[in-house]
Amino acid sequence: MAGMVYLVGAGPGDYRLISLKAVDCLKQAEVVVYDRLADDRILQWAPDDAEYIYVGKASSNHTMKQEDINQLLVDKAKAGKCVVRLKGGDPFVFGRGGEEGLLLQENGLPFEIVPGITSAISVPAYAGIPVTHRAVATSFAVVTGHEDPTKGKSNMRWEHLATGVDTLVFLMGVANLPHITAKLIENGRPSDTPAAVIRWGTKPEQRVLMTTVGTAAEDVAKAGLKPPAIFIVGDVVNLREKLQWFDEPKTHPLFGKTVLVTRARSQASKLTARLEQLGAKVIETPAIRIEEPADNYAAIDAAIDKLNDYQWLIFTSTNGVEHFFARLLKAGKDTRALGYAKVGAIGSATAEKLKAYGIIADVVPQEFRAEGVLEALKGKVPPHAKILIPRAQEAREILPEKLREQGAVVDVAPVYQTVAAAVDGEALKAQLANGDIDLVTFTSSSTVTNLIQIVGSAESLAGVKTAAIGPVTADTAKSNGIEPDIVASEYTIDGLVEAIKANI
């Protein structure tokens, strides 16, 4: 039985500009045939066990010829596979999707086209340049910049193109700028026409060079701008002065900054999203991986068997909440098993996680650390109260120790442990040494110790700014030879982001 091929546009660069339908296709893919994507995070929506085939093409460097790519799609579809052919931009805007579709049709194989946002309009938009604008430009053309200037006869109708369209957008044309600009001027486009070259458009690395048709080639050479970039010509370019937004400091104060997020991969998304909203380029390198505790949940399962014995449950992290309730459900119980026990949360994020399970915390301290919990519990815990603390296997002992000193009977039950993640330490070390990373974030003590383990020593972070989510994490950094430049006053992800925003 024949499979199905989806010719999918991945958009211009920012992975969030992919369509919902494209994501749906990726989720069901058995084979993903993909180009050199501007952001590999687009692949996150495809199954881990899918077959990934890279066929990317850079200037003068083709991993696979187009004819071979076409046949590959046919072969995989004939084998009954669900194939996603993932292409940057849109499949039909210089994407050669038509050639792929035609061969599939000739072989009687089903396919669908999933349009993508083309860089022809999105990249100028991210630079604050509309391709059309009332009273300025009522037409635009998208032109390939790849035409070989040495061939005998051009397929371009330069005599019509140069002056017949208000806005011209050349894709993949940086290497041919001397030829393109010369042809435009030769065919009547004034040399002083505003122009712009936009590199890595829609991504945090975006760079915009304002120029003119007459000086563009020289300006690009001086600036050292390399592909991928587009060249846009027309009076609309001047609108960038007022419409600039993506690389505008007031809108995106972290634009141009690269931030290393060291949270566990499953938890990095919120911090990444907040930093990206502020314009940062985020590198997710999980320093920790969350695993089951060393005792295989023996302690927490035993505690769950006698939940009625506890007067208080105190949660010190969102992970603790999540893993505790997973074990509770596995035991065939739900929140009713907590009975009349009071519940404490170390901070607002942990309290919010409890709400997701239908529990409103009785105590949430003003200061989100163990000392704050102890202060908040004063006068609320009766003598000899029995307390359960589901937490990480490795954690500060101050909370259970102080509660015991006050006469409480405290059971500490590990519900997870953090271990160093499998990361290419040498590659990360090189990025730090080369100045490719402006800021490293630490969201827990374990991210500090495990990152140092990954890169070999604290010296690898010398010269790179660091930000800690709170004083406990900051103290761990200091004890390992790292003096944090930023310490959040509110010990949450939002608090960390606000501290970074104010201090970087």
Looking at the annotation, which residues are catalytic? 35, 57, 172
d(CA 141, CA 152): 24
Kindly list the distances between the CA atom of residue 57 and the CA atoms of 35, 65, 98, 205, 345, in Å, as whole numbers in the listed order: 7, 9, 17, 21, 52
Sign of the CA dihedral running 96, 98, 104, 110? positive
Give me the amino acid identity at 484.
Answer: P
Tokens of 101: 């579709």
On whether the CB atoms of residues 275 and 443 are closer than 8 A, the answer is no
**Residue 373: closest CA among 361, 359, 383:** 361
CA 148 to chain centre: 36
Please report, for the chain, how many H helices and E strands are present, in that order.
18, 22
Q: Outline where DSSP puts E strands in 224-355.
A: 229-233, 258-261, 281-284, 288-291, 312-315, 342-345
Residue 89 DSSP code: B
Cβ atoms of 63 and 31 within 8 Å: the answer is no
What are the DSSP E strand ranges found in 329-369? 342-345
Burial (Cβ within 10 Å: 0-12, 13-18, ≥19) of residue 215: middle
Neighbours of 144 (CB within 10 A): 14
d(CA 100, CA 116): 16
Give the total residue count for the chain.
Answer: 504
Report the alpha-carbon distance of residue 359 to residue 14 in Å, rounded. Answer: 38
State how far the Cα of 340 lies from the Cα of 321, in Å rounded to an integer. Answer: 18
CA distances from 475 to 31, 263, 276 (A): 47, 18, 27
